[in-house]
Every structure is written in structure tokens, then in C-alpha cells.
A and B are shown apart, each in its own frame.
Chain A
Amino acid sequence: MTNFLDFSALGMIWKRDLIRLSRDRAQIAGSLARPILWLVILGLGMGSSVSGFGSGRYVEYLFPGIIALNLLFASFLSAISIIWDREFGFLKEMLVAPIPRASIALGKAASGATVSTLQGCLVLLFIPVVGVSVSWARVALALPFMFLIAFAMTSLGLLVAARMTSFEGFGTIANFVIMPMFFVSGAVFPLDRAPRWLSILSKVNPMTYAVEGLRGLMRGGVSWGFLLDLTVLALFALLAVRLAVWAFSRRM
């Protein structure tokens, strides 16, 4: 374990990224713009012309999905800070320090997950705007699960970013990962009436369990179905972070 965990380094890497976020208004603005687009325009706009989303309005169905979307975007893209650090030389400062490579990856996963959970929470500001009925107790229950989603997706991003040297390349891959994961997750439309191939795809998509879990927590509370979502997502997070650490520990 000593080859893995170096708490002073891990804590400092985490703290640094939070300081950086607090000074970056564009990033905060971006995570506010996304829910406006999806929730207010798509949610309220499309909601008025479609029906048949169970008991509630469309926006009620969509709401947990948009939290998941913000988490997915913010987490996956937070990994770009590794490319940033490499480009501006700061990564070298970490690589020549007497700290295990794994701690760099874990510190980055922790900070990315924290930053993204905060950005996911920004969506909650829209509860009164779009008129979703959800109690604050339920929201509080969802927070740790949101962090788990963020941690899993940040690790996935780090795995992709670990050996990349170009922003453009990462951006392209990010689009090819984020959008399909989002659309095939049941975030914007239910998958029970979707074609068979699509529903098979959704079953192997970790975001499906993220969206379903969040929806379960916010609309119904903890159930057996939720336990399945939690297990799948936790296993995926473990696998992704293990691979990210491995990608980092190789000589770079």
C-alpha cells in the first residue's frame, strides 16, 4: 500500500485543483450553461409535446439524467488537466518528486471527482426554475452516489488522458465517449421500448446504471434495483481507477 498512497501528496494534488477551479470562472459558467440548454430548453420545450413518461412530466423524468450528464461531462473532461499539466511542465515537477506515480493518478481522480460533484450540484439550482418535485432529503441521499459516478468517470477520463499529448485528440475522443454514453443511458428517453440492439448496448453502458440509480434515489428511494445499480457502478469505478493507475505507473 505504501507504493500507492502518499496522503500528503494526494491531499496537495487535490487541494491544488480545487484552488484552480475557484479561479476559473469559465469552467463554472460552462457547467451552468449545460443544464440551461438541456433542462430548460429540451426539458420544458419537448415536455410540452410528448407524453407517456409514467406518472410525471417529462422534465421530472429528465432531471436526474441531466445531473448525470453534468457529472459525466465535468468528470471526463477534468482529466484534461493532466494533459494541461504535461503541456505546461507542471507534470514534471510531480514526476521527479519522491512520490508514487499511483498517488498522482489517485489525487487527480479525487480532485476531478470532487470538482465534478460540485458541478453536478449546480444542476440542483434549477429545481425551482423547472418545477421538479424532489425533497432535499432525497437530494442529500443522492450526493454520495453522485460522487461515485464522478469518480468512475474521472478515472475513465484519466485512463484515456494518461498517455495523450494533444488537447485536440483528447477532445475528439471525449466526444466519442461522452455523447454515446449519455444517449444510450436512458437519460433523455426510456429504453424499454427501444430496439433490441440499443437496449443491449445500454446494458453494458455504466452510465445506464448511474442514471437509473440517480432516478431511483430521487424519485423512489433505495430499492433492490438501486443496489444493483450501485454494485455495477462501484465495480466499474474500481476497474477504471485501477487501469488509470496502471496507465500512469508505466514510464511516461
Chain B
Amino acid sequence: MTPAIAVSHLVRTYNGLTAVDDLSLEIPAGELFGFLGPNGAGKTTTINILCTLLAPDSGSAHVAGFDCLAQSREVRRAIGIIFQDPSLDERLTAWENLEFHGMIYHLPKLLRRQRMEEVLRLVALWERRHDIVKTFSGGMKRRLEVARGLMHEPRVLFLDEPTIGLDPQTRCRIWEAIERIRSERRTTLFMTTHSMEEATRCDRVAILDHGKLLVLDRPQALIARQGARNLEEVFLNLTGRGLRDEAASENEMLRTRVRRLKRWR
């Protein structure tokens, strides 16, 4: 069976800095895979390459059997993404956001409506579907993003820190949704997280630092092999205790400037 994700000797540099350094991994279909690493380790860069948003300098990446460079449209048809940064249209209602998604993923009308109701109920936003997203709390927006990512039933779903900054209730609800599509559809899930507790729930985890893969195994196997108490200890043993500075992406810098501009106006 073709693996859901196959990465081979992937390299990507940004202005002389190697964000992803000779990364190779293979993830079988249906796996819940945890992609861990300190800030700036190259996690989001890898996801962007796998999602066809970024071209690698060298090496190859395949998702659902398709080449991320040469068959980008086929890859896009097979995947769903829950981005780290918000990507909703806040001036639209929850319903309109999902309607947009359904249209650009070519879901026929009846199926689209059915899925919209299904995912809105799954994340408990059905009653609020006609509200403008701007009026939502952070947790509600995140739930809506998760719902949108699930709507077209992707074969491979990328979740870039899906539960960051959320209250336990929202985190719980998102995990319920994740577990449910896993058992119902055998969706492959590729997730990044800083919560070692969440990472322990994964089938396998990879720990990445400075773009290089350090280890890849089942969480329990890693803990046992290192003689550690938990995954957090494994993580700190491998990546050290020094603090990391993440280079702000161009987008983030712009966002702070816009915020300043708004205040000034």
C-alpha cells in the first residue's frame, strides 16, 4: 500500500538558513502522526512543502501517492489543512465560510449542505452558524477552522498546532472531532503540537530540531529507550533546555504593523 506521506531527503533553505535539512519520513495511511520540535525547528516549513505552498530546494515529497511539485492539484484534492495562523474570512458568517470552502472543493449542493450541518454540529457551532465570525471568541474561531478542514473529508489532514491557546473545553472538543474522523474514515493525521500530553496520544512521533530529524518512534518506545518519565523529558533531553527565537515570518511582521496602523487611525 502506498504510504499517505513519503518524504525523502527534503531540503529547504531561507536566506542561507537551512529550515529543513535532509528530512526523510514515511507515514502509513490511517496513522495519527505527531510532528514535534522547538519553535523554528522547521515544522511549518515542512507542512507548507507537503501542502504545495512551498517548493523544496531538493529532495522529494509525496502525499497520497502524488508528487507535491509535479502533481500539486492532485495533492490539493486529497488534503485538508488547519493552519497555525487564522485563515477565516471574519466578515462572513460561519455558514458563508463553509459554503465558500464547499464550493472551492467542488462538493455538490446537497452533499455540501449535509456536510456543513454535520461539521457545525460536531464542533457545536450549529446554533451560531449565521453569526459573523468577527463576533466569535478565539476558541469558536478555532473550532470553525477545524470544522472547515474536515468538511471535504480529506484523506490526509494536516493540523498545525490545532489546540494552541485554547481552553480545556475547546481542546477536548477538538480532540473528540479528531478521534471521530479517525475511527470513522481512517483519515491520516499529521499534527504539530507543543503539548507533550497531546503528543503522547499519537501513534508515532517525530522530534525535529534545526531542520533535522532526531528520532521517530512510538511515544512509549521513546520514553522507554531514553529511560525517561514522560515524553516531555525525552523532548528536553534531545533538544536541550536553551530558549529558541523564532524568526518572525513576513506575515507576522506585517500583522503587527497593521495593528499599529489601526490604533493610530
Contacts and interface: CB of A to CB of B under 8 A. Distances in A.
B183 interface: no
Nearest to B255: A87
Contacts of A9: 103-104
B77 interface: yes
Interface in B217-265: 250-251, 254-255, 257-258, 261
A192 interface: no
B87 A165 contact: no
Interface string B82-107: 01011111111000100111011110
Contact of B104 (A8, A20, A86, A89): A8
Contacts of A94: 104
B105 A98 contact: yes
Nearest to A97: B104
B103 A98 contact: no
Interface in A73-117: 86-90, 92-100
Contact of A87 (B88, B104, B254): B254
Interface in B51-80: 51-55, 73, 76-77, 79
A24 B83 CA distance: 27
B81 interface: yes
A115 to B, nearest CB: 14
A107 to B, nearest CB: 10
Contacts of A98: 73, 76-77, 104-106
A9 B105 CA distance: 8
Contacts of B251: 86-87, 89, 165
Interface residues of A, number: 28
Given A16-B100, A19-B92, A166-B254, A97 B85 contact: no
Interface in A13-27: 16, 19-20, 23-24
Of A19, A94, A98, A99, which is in contact with the most chain B CB atoms at under 10 Å from its CB?
Answer: A98
Contacts of B132: 23
Contacts of A100: 73
Contacts of A16: 89, 92, 96, 100
Contact of B261 (A19, A88, A90, A167): A167
B250 A165 contact: yes
A97 B91 contact: no
Contact of B87 (A20, A23, A92, A167): A92
A97 B79 contact: no
Contacts of A89: 83, 85-88, 251
A12 B255 CA distance: 26
A89 B76 CA distance: 17
A11 interface: yes
A41 B92 CA distance: 37
Interface string A192-233: 000000000000000000000000000000000000000000
Given A90-B88, A98-B73, A11 B103 contact: yes
Contacts of B81: 92, 96
B144 to A, nearest CB: 12
Of B54, B91, B105, which is in contact with the most chain A CB atoms at under 10 Å from its CB?
Answer: B91
Contacts of B250: 165
A11 B102 CA distance: 12
B104 A99 contact: yes
A96 B96 CA distance: 18
Nearest to B76: A98
Contacts of B257: 166
Contact of A92 (B53, B77, B255): B53
Nearest to A252: B53
B104 A95 contact: no
B106 A88 contact: no
B77 to A, nearest CB: 4
A8 B106 contact: yes
B135 to A, nearest CB: 12
A100 B104 CA distance: 10
Given A19-B91, A92-B81, 7 more contacts: A11-B103, A20-B92, A88-B90, A90-B88, A95-B53, A97-B101, A98-B104
Sort A-B residue pairs by CB-CB distance and give the 3 closest, nearest first. A89-B87, A12-B103, A98-B77
